[in-house]
Amino acid sequence: MQLIPRTLLRAAVVVAGLVMAPLAASAANCTATVTDFNFGTVSLRTGALNQTQGNVRISCTNPLLDAVGVCLRVGSGSGGAGGGNSPRYMRGPSGQGLAYELRLGGASAVNGTLTEAYFLVPIVLGLGGTIDVPIYGQITSAAPGVPTGSYSSQFSGAPDIQLTYGVLACGLLGQNYVPSDFSVRAQVEASCEVSVGSLSFGIIDSQVSRPVDQTANLTVRCSQAAAYSITLDQGQGGGSDPNRRRMKNGSHVLEYGLYHDPARTSVWGTTAANDKSATGAGLDQTYTIFGRIHAGQMAQFGTYSDSVVVTVNY
């Protein structure tokens, strides 16, 4: 806080004598280096948190001042960016975009997007000083449809990274320095998401004299070209035959089955012989679960239910 009146005092001397500012500015010398940002191997399924951290090191010398003002500007990088550099993009093998943010103060969205930032570099004993400023990265793409592979963006030269020093705020003229190049990288692995609706058989007669059939939809979105399989477990009702799962109403039981086909002949279970195998397309792939309450059973008054776990293996 003591730096402000000293700076203002020098500004007043400049107005009066028109000599101190050029001398002070010419004596300042600043450099900066920015680390690479490597997210490593990431999954883009919903809920995955893909963050990393790097930093910029700024060093200045100036025997005439006890602090040097610097402004760091960061552009879009070779991957390009949206408006206001939010988001920036890494590019994959075929040019696909992977959205990410660079921020100061933390990876959370409340910290905004790093485009430019002003810092004061304290000068020790009128000789030099260094500050390290953390920069936080977060991948904001959350879609298994993004193809797998290596993604990157390069920051090189004044359009992508620039330091202006000898200034009181960003936007003022000063001496320019182009920091070293840096990159942002990530390796996208295969990922899948699944959603499934409830299968309701509705209201049935107490005497199940004929099969009661209903269906439910199951939707999977997996990375393009990712092989996967879908299994349905036995449910919580007990038993070991996927053709004879059990819904329960207290101690009362109704047996039912879940199948791949409308004829209810291909049972859907947990083994390689009765799962559902497919290849991801990067888009929603929807499958029908065909359910059947078997004939020849007696149902007691009340609600029968079961819970079946759907698992996507990839």
The 3-state secondary structure of 127-148 reads CEEEEEEEEEEEECCCCCCCCC
Say which residues have a Cβ less than 8 Å from residue 19's Cβ, sequence separation at least 6.
none
In this structure, the answer to whether residues 167 and 55 fall within a common structural domain is: yes
In this structure, the answer to whether residues 34 and 180 fall within a common structural domain is: yes
Q: Which two tokens stand for residue 78?
A: 């070779």
The CATH number given to whatever domain includes residue 141 is: 2.60.40.3590
The CATH number given to whatever domain includes residue 292 is: 2.60.40.1090
* pLDDT number for residue 24: 42
The torsion region of residue 279 among left (phi > 0), alpha (psi -120 to 50) and beta comes to: beta
Q: What is the mean predicted confidence (pLDDT) over 157-179?
A: 94
CA atoms within 13 A on the CB side of 150: 6
- Among 188, 218, 242, the domain-final residue is 188
Does a structural domain hold residue 5? no
Q: How many domains does the chain have?
A: 2
The pLDDT mean for the chain works out to 89
Name the one residue in this structure whose structure tokens are 């959205």.
Answer: 99
Are 74 and 115 a contacting pair, CB within 8 Å?
A: yes
Q: SS in 3 state form for the chain? A: CCHHHHHHHHHHHHHHHCCHHHHHHHHCEEEEEECCEEEEEECCCCCCCCEEEEEEEEEEECCCCCEEEEEEEECCCCCCECHHHCCEEEECCCCCEEEEEEECCCCCHHHCCCCEEEEEEECECCCEEEEEEEEEEEECCCCCCCCCEEEEEEECCCCCEEEEECCCCCCCCCEEECCCCEEEEEEECCCEEEEECCCCCCCCCCEECCCEEEEEEEEEEECCCCEEEEEECCCCCCCCCHHHEEEEECCEEEEEEEECCCCCCCECCCCCCCCEEEECCCCEEEEEEEEEECCCEECCCCCCECCCCEEEEC
- Among 139, 160, 188, the domain-final residue is 188
In this structure, the answer to whether residues 265 and 174 fall within a common structural domain is: no
In this structure, the answer to whether residues 179 and 44 fall within a common structural domain is: yes
Say which residues have a Cβ less than 8 Å from residue 82's Cβ, sequence separation at least 6.
88
- Among 140, 167, 188, the domain-final residue is 188
Domain that holds residue 91: 30-188
Has residue 10 got a pLDDT over 60?
no
Does a structural domain hold residue 12? no
In this structure, the answer to whether residues 173 and 199 fall within a common structural domain is: no
In this structure, the answer to whether residues 144 and 259 fall within a common structural domain is: no
Q: What is the mean predicted confidence (pLDDT) over 44-60?
A: 93
Position 5: which residue type? P
> What is the length of the chain?
314
Does a structural domain hold residue 293? yes
R_g (Cα) of the chain, nearest Å: 31
Q: Which two tokens stand for residue 312?
A: 């996507």
In this structure, the answer to whether residues 227 and 268 fall within a common structural domain is: yes
Task: Among 13-22, 196-205, 212-221, 286-295, name the one with the lowest average pLDDT.
Answer: 13-22
Q: What is the mean predicted confidence (pLDDT) over 196-211?
A: 96
Has residue 25 got a pLDDT over 70?
no
Confidence of residue 93 (pLDDT cuts 50, 70, 90): confident
Has residue 23 got a pLDDT over 90?
no
CA distance 312 to 193: 8
In this structure, the answer to whether residues 177 and 259 fall within a common structural domain is: no
Position 157: which residue type? G
Does a structural domain hold residue 153? yes
Q: What is the share, in percent, of the chain residues with pLDDT greater than 90?
A: 81
Does a structural domain hold residue 25? no
In this structure, the answer to whether residues 172 and 199 fall within a common structural domain is: no
| pLDDT, greater one: 107 or 145 | 107
Confidence of residue 312 (pLDDT cuts 50, 70, 90): very high
In this structure, the answer to whether residues 160 and 90 fall within a common structural domain is: yes
* pLDDT number for residue 14: 28
**pTM exceeds 0.75 for this model:** yes
Does a structural domain hold residue 131? yes
The tens digit of pLDDT for each residue in 242-276 reads 999 999 999 999 999 999 999 999 999 999 999 99
* pLDDT number for residue 45: 86
Has residue 154 got a pLDDT over 80?
yes
In this structure, the answer to whether residues 82 and 117 fall within a common structural domain is: yes
Are 114 and 103 a contacting pair, CB within 8 Å?
A: yes
Confidence of residue 144 (pLDDT cuts 50, 70, 90): confident
Has residue 26 got a pLDDT over 70?
no
Does a structural domain hold residue 3? no
Does a structural domain hold residue 169? yes
In this structure, the answer to whether residues 176 and 213 fall within a common structural domain is: no
